[in-house]
Amino acid sequence: MQATVQKTMEHFGECRGCDDHVHDLIQTLGRCLNGLWRYDQYIANADGHPELQQFWREFREQELASVSRMKELLANDLRQECS
């Protein structure tokens, strides 16, 4: 059994496709983008709760800023890799 596991993992990670830090940015950007579209619904769900609506608006703005920054960092990294 040990030999089978070792054989299965023998070439794991040889073809990464990109550096780990680029992969981390892409993964995190994807998670943020998936969550970002929900905030308008959260704001609507909090109808009648202005403090909670404001919280979701602020959170949405923070996420938008984070997404923008991640796109910038990713673009810079890809430009360096392609030059």
What is the residue range of 49's domain?
39-83
Q: What is the pTM of this model?
A: 0.73
- 64: in domain: yes
Count how many domains the chain has: 1
pLDDT of residue 5: 61
pLDDT of residue 44: 96
State the average pLDDT over residues 12-22.
Answer: 75
Q: pLDDT for 33-82, tens place per residue?
A: 998 989 999 999 999 999 999 999 999 999 999 999 999 999 998 888 76
- 15: in domain: no
DSSP letters spanning 16-80: -SS-HHHHHHHHHHHHHHHHHTTHHHHHHHTTT-HHHHHHHHHHHHHHHHHHHHHHHHHHHHHHH
- 34: in domain: no
- 23: in domain: no
- 59: in domain: yes
